[in-house]
Amino acid sequence: MWLTIGTILAESRCAMSVGMVSWSPVTGFIAGRNMASQILERLKRLTDIFNRESDSMEIMEAALGRFCEVLQVDRACLLYPCDPEAGLCQIRCESARPDLLSVPEGMEKVRVNPELADLMRDMLRSEAPVVRLGGDAWTDWCREAGVPPIRSELAMALKMKNDRAWGLCLQRSFDDSGWSGEEIDLFQYAALRLRDACETATLLATVQKDIAKRQKVDAELARSEQRLRSLFQNSSSSLWLVDLSGLHDIIRTLHRQKVTRADRYLRENPALLDDVLTRIRVVDVNPATLELFGTPDREYLYNNLPRLLTPRARESFIRLFQNLYAERHHFSLEFPFLTLDGRPISTILSIDVLPAPESHLVLATLTDITAQKEAEQRLLESRERYRLLLETANDAIFVADAETGIILDANKRAAELIGRPVSEIVGMHHTELYPDEDRERHRRRFQDHDYRTATEGLHDVFVQHSDGSRIPVEISASRTSIGGREVVQGIFHDISERLKSEERRRLLAAAVEQVAESVIITDLEGNIEYVNPAFEKITGYTYDEVIGRNPRFLNSGKLQKYHYQLLWQDISRGRVWRGTLINRKKDGTLFEEESTITPVRNNAGEIKHYVAVKRDITRQVLQERQIRQSQKMQAIGTLAGGVAHDFNNILTAILGFAELSLLRAGSDPLLSSNLQEIIRAADRAAKLIDQILTFSRQTEKHVASLQVSMIVKEVLKLLRASLPANIDLIADIETRAMVRADPTQIHQVIMNLCTNAYQALAHDTGWIRVSLDTVEVDARKGVELGNLSGGRYVRLRVEDNGRGIAPEYINRIFEPYFTTRKKDEGTGLGLSVVHGIVNDHGGAVTVESEPGKGSCFSVYLPEVDAAVVEQEARDTRIETGEGRILVVDDEQQIVDYEVQVLEQAGYVTYGHTSSLQALEAFNELHGSLDLVITDMAMPDMTGLQLYDRIKRIEPTMPVLLCTGYSEHVTAESSREMGINGYLAKPFTAEQLAQEVKRVLEEKRNGGDCGGVPESQ
């Protein structure tokens, strides 16, 4: 007895860690046999129910009640699933003391809070029961369910096979003294017995269901087999039960050979096809099959199977084999046969592969469609004849049911007329042929007219094309019978071309009346038969004033007589004459016309009339003259810039020597007066040259300080309203810097660049980005950009992702009238205007482009300096000094003038007219010179090149640059390049002496005399 109890309790393996109670009956204290008997009795009461119930849920419900009774707990329940990761679990069954409430309805679901999740984890980890004192895991649920709180709990996970774990919980709500070792062991033992009993009940239930199901299936199969046999024998269709096991080896061989198209393989191997046919074995056929093929004897049919196949049947069988090879279990195809008496029949062969295991049986069903095929052939021939009539008709024909108005047929011309395929037209109601507003009228007409007595003709009718257009037609409708069916046949004659021809004549008349060009029609003698209103408007003569007169009354006398003789010679010979005429209006005003005079012939090819179309080009000629004038002025500007240097050299000599002579004139008043007149005349000549250069720019600017960003925003607002919506216009404005410029011209620059970018976009799609920022430009970069002085510049960039510019055109895009676009897509002036405006504002414009990726135009404008530079007062006396100076200029007069001024001022000078000689002299005098004065434009070596060579020899040597005119070097840019002094010709002796003294004093005071420059 004790060993049995000890063994049972030891098997429970209730060793527990923290949070669990460990109790072993072997090591524990058992007080006497009475206690052992009580334990056995309680075990028996807990477990005897497992032998009574057969259903798992019934076992669980009974076990929970017994737990409450034997272990004296307040409530016992089963949770499912016992899963700490689940958000919810459910109380699947429960039992409570009679005086306690059961789980209220709707409270079966329990939220898995952190405390309950911890409890479930302990239950799943342990093989023994888990003890919990206090009911934190159930606090929320008890409050919501209205049941007493739980003070202690004994729980264990029931880990079922093939299912998630269940949670078995025993709860006490009025006793928190804990659980005795005996209660724990009894609970564990009973819980394990409960788990085993539930699994056994579930297994038995499954087996019983499987047995019942198998018995039911066997009975059903027997009944089904009987029904199938009855259907097979009594079916009116021809049924064949065929064994295809003989084909299995062939199919397997073809699969091993990786044949994808068995049908093609059989066609290429006829012998294999014959082998396939011999391997097919007919198991059974039904009486309908014997009747179809004309024999009552099955064996006779089986022995004569090859006689049933027509030559076309081989191709049908190849398709059948392909379906079997592709493992299709259900398919149908048309199959021709011969009856045993040689009569051809057409059938539909339907194959169903029977699903019996290890079987290769198929059920073949033959449906005789011979009569149907013959009827179809007769109907097809009839339709072909009717279709031939329909398709060869020149007009659209619609056939509609006389009762319903549904279109039954239509020809190809009808499909072309309304833009729909015939398959779509058939089935439409005839009113759908017409526009919406006309459909009711045509519906009533169709109902009210029976079309029996006569053909009805309809005029001024429109049908609706599928593209929405309306097509004018004339309709002839009549009633007839086709195939025993009453129909209405409508013939629709398209009159579009006729109406268009009439419209063209009206349009031509209206166009001639309204065209802006003069139109004159004359007879063979040149007498006017017709003039349009434009002629009246241009010449001032009315229609009645000119009819019957010869156009020579318009002659102005500005053209020679032979000009008109050549005109008449061309048109009388049937040639078209084109040229320009200078005519006189009624008020005496002269105007120029671009004329085209064309002979008009009749059907026989004879000239009967002349028609002249004339366009007033007076304004165009004036504009062309203005353009030529603009080009001429541009050439003048180029010429002025080119000769300014030479003129300024001459004026420098005249002005300089006159001033030197004035200094030596002493008290001779007449000589002083004459010299002063020479100086004043030279000064006027210098100003005249400056005026010529200014005039060559042609445009008058209204310069003011302005924010370019404001103009950019204004232009973008205008562009956004005019550009297509699918073009992205991106603004990136980073600065509000000021420039001094003409706002109108800057507006034109931005607009021209954006317009050019838009025209470069393909198919009106893409993006244009306009950005504005400030950049620092040094002297070298300024020269690269285009004669810019060093300093801060406002940079405007216009980018696009359009077609880009080809490399061969990149250097020509700023030329006037240069364009790669079509004649009507641009004048070629936009970018040249941009270039001119930017240069005139002291800026530069550059372009970067890659064909197929887009272009970027950058405009640089000088930023306004906040500091105001005050001009130094002019010192009228010649500054004196001392030092050794090298002077070089390609004009001997300039050299002599500068040498004389400098020697008079106290300097030792060395003069040269060749830059090469001057460089040699510099090398010889190296170390003894204090200053080099050089002209800019000289042969052999320019002033900048000489400056470069000198600085490489002696980096600290100051250099003073003189120039008559240069597009590349200015006073500001020369300072940025490290040149110490700058004089623009013509200059006075005072100016020369003053600049020389300034440079030398700067050198003596330790000023920057530059360093080794970069290569020019």
- If you write DSSP's letter for every residue of 520-568 in order, what string do you get? EEE-TT--EEEE-HHHHHHH---HHHHTTS-GGGGB-S-S-HHHHHHHH
Average pLDDT over residues 97-125: 87
Predicted local confidence at residue 1008, as pLDDT? 58
The single-letter code of the amino acid at 607 is: I
Predicted local confidence at residue 824, as pLDDT? 54
The DSSP secondary-structure symbol of 813 reads T
Predicted local confidence at residue 34, as pLDDT? 58
Predicted local confidence at residue 538, as pLDDT? 92
Which tops the pLDDT comparison, 16 or 389? 389
- pLDDT for 451 beyond 60: yes
484 φ/ψ angles, rounded to the nearest 5 degrees: 80, 10
Share of the chain above pLDDT 70, in %: 86
Which tops the pLDDT comparison, 693 or 384? 384
CB proximity list for 879: less than 8 A, separation 6 or greater: 905, 990, 993, 994, 996, 997
pLDDT classification of 694: cutoffs 50, 70, 90: very low
Predicted local confidence at residue 12, as pLDDT? 38
Specify whether the CB–CB gap between 272 and 264 falls below 8 A: no
- pLDDT for 356 beyond 80: no
CB proximity list for 629: less than 8 A, separation 6 or greater: none
The single-letter code of the amino acid at 200 is: T
Return the bridge partners of 733, or none. Answer: 772
Specify whether the CB–CB gap between 372 and 458 falls below 8 A: no
Selection from 681-695, 780-794, 868-882 with the highest mean pLDDT: 780-794
- pLDDT for 925 beyond 70: yes
367 φ/ψ angles, rounded to the nearest 5 degrees: -110, 120
Specify whether the CB–CB gap between 583 and 555 falls below 8 A: yes
Identify whether 986 is preceded by a cis peptide bond (ω within 30 of 0): yes
Which tops the pLDDT comparison, 401 or 648? 401
Which tops the pLDDT comparison, 267 or 200? 267
Rounded distance, CA 756 to CA 750, Å? Answer: 10
pLDDT classification of 414: cutoffs 50, 70, 90: very high
Predicted local confidence at residue 631, as pLDDT? 63
Q: Could you tell me the domains of the chain? A: 2-206 (3.30.450.40), 235-374 (3.30.450.20), 390-495 (3.30.450.20), 506-616 (3.30.450.20), 629-664+680-691+875-1016 (3.40.50.2300), 704-862 (3.30.565.10)
Which tops the pLDDT comparison, 364 or 377? 364
- pLDDT for 990 beyond 80: yes
Q: Count of H helices and E strands in the chain?
A: 31, 33
- pLDDT for 982 beyond 50: yes
Average pLDDT over residues 441-470: 78
Predicted local confidence at residue 967, as pLDDT? 61
- Per-residue pLDDT of 511-548, as tens digits, reads 888 888 999 999 999 999 999 999 999 999 999 999 99
Specify whether the CB–CB gap between 543 and 536 falls below 8 A: yes
- pLDDT for 1002 beyond 80: yes
Selection from 29-43, 607-621, 662-676 with the highest mean pLDDT: 607-621
- pLDDT for 886 beyond 60: yes
Predicted local confidence at residue 629, as pLDDT? 47
Rounded distance, CA 784 to CA 780, Å? Answer: 6
pLDDT classification of 702: cutoffs 50, 70, 90: low
- If you write DSSP's letter for every residue of 117-153 in order, what string do you get? HHHHHHHHH-SS-EEEES-GGGHHHHHHHT-PPP-EE
- If you write DSSP's letter for every residue of 631-674 in order, what string do you get? HHHHHHHHHHHHHHHHHHHHHHHHHHHHHHHHHH-TT-HHHHHH
- pLDDT for 5 beyond 50: no
587 φ/ψ angles, rounded to the nearest 5 degrees: -85, 5
Residue keyed to tokens 């299709």: 328
Average pLDDT over residues 757-763: 85
Q: Hey, which bits of 674-790 come out as E strands?
A: 704-707, 727-733, 738-741, 766-777
pLDDT classification of 923: cutoffs 50, 70, 90: very high
Which tops the pLDDT comparison, 178 or 962? 962
Predicted local confidence at residue 636, as pLDDT? 56
Closest alpha carbon to 259 in 325, 330, 327: 325
Rounded distance, CA 325 to CA 320, Å? Answer: 9
The DSSP secondary-structure symbol of 104 reads P
Torsion sign, CA atoms 345, 349, 354, 359: positive
Which tops the pLDDT comparison, 6 or 337? 337
- Per-residue pLDDT of 790-838, as tens digits, reads 889 999 999 999 999 988 888 888 876 677 776 555 556 678 778 888 8
**CA atoms lying within 13 Å on the CB side of residue 312:** 9
Rounded distance, CA 735 to CA 414, Å? Answer: 68
- Per-residue pLDDT of 604-617, as tens digits, reads 999 999 999 999 98
Average pLDDT over residues 302-328: 86
699 Cα distance to chain centroid: 45
* Token reading at 716: 């973008």
The DSSP secondary-structure symbol of 427 reads T
- pLDDT for 582 beyond 60: yes
Mean pLDDT, all residues of the chain: 82
C-alpha distances (whole Å) from 949 to each of 203, 447, 940, 979, 1016 are 110, 108, 13, 13, 10
Average pLDDT over residues 470-475: 91
End-to-end CA distance of the chain: 120
Closest alpha carbon to 115 in 134, 96, 90: 134
Query: Which of 33-42, 362-371, 378-387 is predicted with the least confidence, judged by mean pLDDT?
Result: 33-42
Average pLDDT over residues 710-718: 84
CB proximity list for 413: less than 8 A, separation 6 or greater: 391, 393, 394, 395, 396, 397
Predicted local confidence at residue 519, as pLDDT? 94
- pLDDT for 599 beyond 70: yes
Predicted local confidence at residue 222, as pLDDT? 75
* Token reading at 837: 């405006």
C-alpha distances (whole Å) from 509 to each of 91, 519, 947 are 97, 11, 78
Return the bridge partners of 577, or none. Answer: 597
